[in-house]
């Protein structure tokens, strides 16, 4: 059932991205090869693109061919540089995946303890101070924060690299030639991940705080207290899990925000990730490559939220059993 949904969503995304390039006014050739049409030497190239995209055939045939290509892993290419999109992906996808993963982990690792603490101490000065600080960071655009961190901690204090990227554990899996020292990798990722994470912290913290405050009013919490358990145990073992469903949902949906944020962060820190690749293809007006990159990002988003659905069942046994009953 879930798998069917997954496939349907991907099909819709593929259809929309296919339509994108056909809807844009003008001849696709003009868009893809704007400077080369008049050039006699480029005649061959124009022919190649025409045949590649099947522009001489009916739109229906083009569509079926496109879907067939996507399913078989042929994502087209950048007609400017001639690089296949799969090559671009091999290099760019692990960069973005690691960036988003680290940012998400960092955001949750900071937000969860803060959310638990502010719920426990709701209404106190500490609660208000933390909330105000978190909102301050939420209000700061990530390009400002990214530039500040890159400039102060990177360029001025020289504690961490101000720009650049060192491949980590995920890159060799996609492209065996891309290896790097793990320590250098982490160092190159700290500032970008932090930049991307900061905006999420306030959101996650506030969500967890309000759910947690509601959970702490529950009878089973009073019961847990009456057993003589420590506050620490009550907060972490009894209250956190039932309070984390909303957080989980939003953390999954937030991958969309993270993808958008990653575009900016990768440009600031000059990392060759998906964001950077999208910006390049957009500037070059390489819509064929662009639609494939967007399709991959959309697939990623759908996949993450699919995983979140699975996580619900792990966090809450009632959901697990209700599903098993179906």
Binding positions for another protein, rule: CB under 8 A: 123, 218-220, 222-231, 233, 237-238, 241-242, 315-318, 321
Q: Would you tell me the crossing angle of helices 182-216 and 245-253 to the nearest 10 degrees? A: 140
In whole angstroms, how close is the CB of 187 to another protein at the nearest point? 39
**CA atoms of 212 and 223, how far apart (whole Å):** 16
In whole angstroms, how close is the CB of 237 to another protein at the nearest point? 8
Whether 104 contacts 251, CB under 8 Å: yes
Instruction: Tell me the two tokens of residue 40.
Output: 């006699």
Instruction: Tell me the two tokens of residue 166.
Output: 């060192």
CB nearer to another protein: give 142 or 243.
243
| CB-count exposure of residue 51 (10 Å: 0-12, 13-18, 19+) | exposed
In whole angstroms, how close is the CB of 109 to another protein at the nearest point? 22
CB nearer to another protein: give 4 or 324.
324
**CA atoms of 39 and 45, how far apart (whole Å):** 10
Place of tokens 């061919």: 65
Whether 179 contacts 172, CB under 8 Å: yes
CB nearer to another protein: give 91 or 238.
238
CB nearer to another protein: give 253 or 322.
322
**CA atoms of 155 and 13, how far apart (whole Å):** 41
CB nearer to another protein: give 140 or 245.
245
The residue ranges of DSSP E strands in the chain, in sequence order, are none
For residue 1, what are the CA distances in angstroms to 5, 166, 232, 316?
6, 40, 40, 20
CB nearer to another protein: give 90 or 225.
225
CB nearer to another protein: give 159 or 220.
220
Using DSSP, state whether 77 is helix, strand or coil. strand
**CA atoms of 176 and 219, how far apart (whole Å):** 55
CB nearer to another protein: give 61 or 222.
222
In whole angstroms, how close is the CB of 129 to another protein at the nearest point? 19
In whole angstroms, how close is the CB of 305 to another protein at the nearest point? 22
CB nearer to another protein: give 2 or 237.
237
In whole angstroms, how close is the CB of 198 to another protein at the nearest point? 30
In whole angstroms, how close is the CB of 1 to another protein at the nearest point? 23
In whole angstroms, how close is the CB of 236 to another protein at the nearest point? 12
Q: 10 Å Cβ neighbour count for 265?
A: 29
For residue 90, what are the CA distances in angstroms to 44, 54, 178, 286, 296?
28, 26, 10, 18, 12
Whether 140 contacts 160, CB under 8 Å: no
Instruction: State the Cα torsion 263-142-110-215 to the nearest 10°.
Output: -90
Bridge partner list, 84: 77
In whole angstroms, how close is the CB of 131 to another protein at the nearest point? 18
């Amino acid at each position: 059932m879930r798998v069917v949904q997954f496939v349907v969503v991907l099909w819709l995304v593929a259809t929309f991205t296919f339509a994108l390039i056909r809807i844009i006014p003008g001849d696709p050739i003009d868009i893809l090869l704007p400077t080369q049409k008049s050039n006699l030497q480029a005649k061959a190239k124009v022919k190649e693109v025409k045949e590649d995209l099947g522009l001489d055939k009916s739109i229906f045939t083009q569509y079926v061919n496109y879907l067939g290509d996507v399913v078989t892993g042929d994502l087209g290419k950048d007609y400017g540089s001639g690089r296949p999109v799969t090559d671009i992906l091999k290099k760019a996808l692990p960069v973005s995946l690691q960036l988003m993963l680290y940012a998400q982990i960092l955001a949750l690792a900071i937000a969860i303890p803060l959310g638990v603490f502010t719920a426990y101490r709701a209404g106190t000065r500490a609660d208000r101070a933390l909330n105000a600080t978190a909102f301050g960071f939420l209000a700061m655009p990530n390009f400002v924060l990214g530039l500040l961190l890159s400039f102060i901690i990177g360029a001025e204090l020289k504690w961490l690299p101000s720009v650049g990227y060192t491949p980590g554990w995920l890159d060799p899996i996609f492209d065996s030639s891309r290896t790097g020292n793990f320590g250098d990798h982490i160092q190159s990722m700290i500032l970008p991940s932090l930049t991307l994470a900061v905006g999420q912290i306030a959101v996650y913290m506030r969500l967890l705080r309000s759910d947690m405050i509601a959970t702490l009013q529950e009878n089973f919490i009073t019961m847990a207290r009456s057993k003589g358990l420590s506050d620490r145990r009550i907060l972490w073992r009894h209250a956190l899990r039932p309070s984390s469903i909303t957080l989980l949902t939003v953390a999954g949906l937030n991958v969309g925000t993270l993808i958008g944020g990653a575009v900016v962060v990768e440009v600031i820190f000059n990392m060759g990730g998906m964001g950077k690749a999208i910006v390049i293809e957009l500037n070059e007006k390489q819509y064929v490559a662009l639609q494939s990159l967007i399709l991959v990002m959309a697939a990623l988003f759908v996949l993450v939220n699919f995983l979140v659905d699975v996580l619900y069942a792990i966090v809450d046994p009632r959901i697990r059993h209700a599903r098993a009953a179906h």
